[in-house]
Chain A
């Protein structure tokens, strides 16, 4: 077993060519996912069955199936229908990037809406009552009391999901995209040195994760001002 440490460092610059795509996928799909999550959450807690049930079904489907399967269904499955190929969605689904963003966003939406619900349920009842006693209306209480506290409570779980999403972007390499993992796999196929190349890729992902962790840590501190003086 030979380990070529120089190859690890030689391959890092090449792999960084894919980092742009990885970040685009990450930020685009977490942003769209967050919007979906909030919509799903509001449907879920609306107390109206015709809104809550579709939300629950959506969450169940996307949490209940592997992302890779979802990507393959969206990428290879949907174009089998002429209806899809002739629709306006084809502009997005034709491109592997579009398919990837759709799959990751839908996934993030399902998970994050449950994370936010957890935060919401964690808000102490007493705070509602205090708000009521101060004469705040229901929307006011939701915006000024529930939401900030729920967000604060959801941060640790959400950062977890965010990091999972970073790693899920690696699946883009299965649908021809040259994200960081895609670049890594192409280099491996040329150099026959999987160990060195994937270690280099792992190192880059770990550096990215460190920044994400740190960012969420700061955000959490800021949102916790009300408990820590």
Chain B
């Protein structure tokens, strides 16, 4: 048995709240990795923190349920959910067609986005004032990205004039952006912020244009995973996500770790 689990006591406030709301408080066990900074991780004193953790707790609060976290390695995440080791996956799991065959997903609580990053001084104009793609601004511009990613497909479709330079690793992207071999890079702004923009190396560089939220290319985003055939719970979870999106909770959770928000701006719901 490789999987081990650690059951954490729920936060005191939540527990109290659950106790007030109903005598027979529902308990929801939440599977997460506990090692994926800054989404689900432990601080130096062992407390679980992160965007996923905040979302799980907030959803629990709106559901009137107590949340128990179960730490689970990534490769066993879906099997453990199916084996009833826990009831929800809140672990930065992207909604994909393949996974949807096994489990249900809630509406997204985090987006899959791409964004351009480049030197502030270059004055690159990739977007028009209304946020649409300015194809002319890409003409002859060298854009670095990781080989055969969704960004690659997006760029080829939307800005065929750009000169695409394909890399094997994301670190190489930052290096060559700094070395001036590419004019800009296209990547996930969360990763770029954590590894590059927030570091001394990233001084003088910034995001160019808005977050690109194109579900056709980048997918629906990250949702909460549930066992199939749990329609009632799925509905309640979706309602809770809707609430914490609208009341600004998700924004607050994101701003703890990033200087920007990471939830879907245009609410669509899982199609």
Which residues on A are within 8 Å of B, measured CB to CB?
A: 76, 79-80, 85, 94-96, 174, 176, 178, 182, 185-186, 189-190
Contacts and interface: CB of A to CB of B under 8 A. Distances in A.
Nearest to B168: A174
Interface stretch (B120-128, B130-138, B173-181, B237-245): B173-181
A96 B181 contact: yes
Contacts of B165: 176
B11 interface: no
B148 interface: yes
Contact of A85 (B144, B167, B168, B180): B180
Q: Which 4 A-B pairs have the closest CB atoms?
A: A189-B148, A79-B179, A176-B165, A190-B148
Interface of B: 144, 147-148, 165-168, 172, 175-176, 179-181
Contact of A189 (B144, B147, B180, B181): B147
Contacts of A190: 148
A85 B147 contact: no
Nearest to A99: B181
Contacts of B179: 76, 79-80, 85, 94
Contacts of A186: 147-148, 166
Nearest to B173: A176
B152 to A, nearest CB: 9
Nearest to A176: B165
A76 B175 contact: yes
Given A94-B180, A176-B166, A189-B148, 8 more contacts: A76-B172, A79-B180, A79-B181, A80-B179, A94-B181, A96-B181, A176-B165, A176-B167
Contacts, number: 30
Contacts of B166: 176, 178, 182, 186
Contacts of A80: 179
Contacts of A79: 179-181
A94 B178 CA distance: 12
11 contacts: A76-B175, A76-B179, A79-B180, A94-B179, A94-B181, A96-B181, A174-B168, A176-B166, A176-B167, A178-B166, A182-B166
A190 B146 CA distance: 12
B183 to A, nearest CB: 12
A193 to B, nearest CB: 13
A122 to B, nearest CB: 43
Contacts of A96: 181
A106 B117 CA distance: 35
A80 B148 CA distance: 28
A80 B180 CA distance: 11
A96 B180 CA distance: 12
A174 to B, nearest CB: 6
B138 to A, nearest CB: 18
B171 to A, nearest CB: 9
